[in-house]
Amino acid sequence: MLKLRKLGKTDLMISPIGLGCWQFAQGKGLFGNTWGIVGDEEVREIVRISLDGGTNWFDTAEGYGGGQSERALARALKSLAVRPEDVVIATKWLPLFRRAASLRKTIDDRLAALGGYPISLHQVHTPHSLSTTRAQMEAMADLVEAKKIHHVGVSNFSAAKMRLAHDELGRRGIPLASNQVRYSLLDRSIERNGILEAARELGISIISYSPLAQGILTGRYHENPSLIKTKPGFRKYLSSFRAKGLEKSRPVVEALREVAAKHGRTPAQVALNWLVHFQGQTVVAIPGATKAPQAQENAASQAFALTKDEMDYLDRVSAGAK
């Protein structure tokens, strides 16, 4: 059986790999078509395969299609007869151009979108707001005490802002569970800017988004660089997907292929496995999936073990690719 781990200092027990659900926005909202449109049947299959593979939590957000991702996820869970107590749902409040009072005003909309599935983790999606971190954490604490949500997290917070959020929640006797940030073998900035160090010190989990560097670590774009031109959204315009960027990341992908061959796995699975084990229990990850086979690949990445030598080898190659 897959070994679960605690999210921060909460009582939430989660699988090392969750499922990121931005792609369930189904074309709605400002960035809803970033990953193309995933229909309800495909959403259901992605969720089913994730659950069957041992994944027990899903990360969505108000900002993913104005609640469309939340609704699509809830429909899939209901159609699979998943009981609310058997799944962990993390969502996020979008603070842009809003004040902390919006947290209290919009929470019933979040709960309605999730169709009866409780909010295990409610996160502030970005530090950019018209209100202070203190005001936001006060509002979050009110929601916990009102039993509207279970736990509190943040996303994209710097080390200093994360510490502040932790301290403000602590005044109300509530732990800050997590900080959701970009982290992968190709983006290890949290190891240098104090975020990882502070998370360890305070007992806060790091939730890694873009754990496969938007697909680069799968190796498919190194094999076929023109493939990116067929993808929807903004990725095709990023320097990391151009020839120079792909050459820079090639040593990491080759190292992943080398290790993957020893385990009968894929480069993506090795990259995810490294991510959720190299820093001990501190880091969990939320890769997305637009197709059922991707969900199966993601979930299976938590079902094998890399050796310490293999993890150290990937660490060295990754450090040299900066």
Which pLDDT score, from 0 to 100, does residue 60 have?
Answer: 98
Model pLDDT for residues 31-53, shown as the tens digit of each residue:
556 667 899 999 999 999 999 99
Neighbours of 172 (CB within 10 A): 14
Model pLDDT for residues 294-318, shown as the tens digit of each residue:
999 999 999 999 999 999 999 999 9
Which pLDDT score, from 0 to 100, does residue 229 have?
Answer: 64
Residue pointed to by tokens 């929640």: 169
Which pLDDT score, from 0 to 100, does residue 228 have?
Answer: 67
Which pLDDT score, from 0 to 100, does residue 315 have?
Answer: 98
Model pLDDT for residues 261-274, shown as the tens digit of each residue:
999 999 999 999 99
Distance CA 309, CA 175 (A): 35
Q: List residues bridging with 179 in a β-sheet.
A: 154, 206
Contact 162, 125 (CB under 8 A): no
Burial 74-112 (b: 16+ CB within 10 A, else e): bbbbeeeebeeeebbbbbbbbbeebebebbeeebeebbe
**Which residue among 64, 117, 183, 221 is the active-site one?**
64
pTM above 0.75, yes or no: yes
What are the chain's domains? 5-214+267-304 (3.20.20.100)
Would you call 117 a catalytic residue per the annotation?
A: no
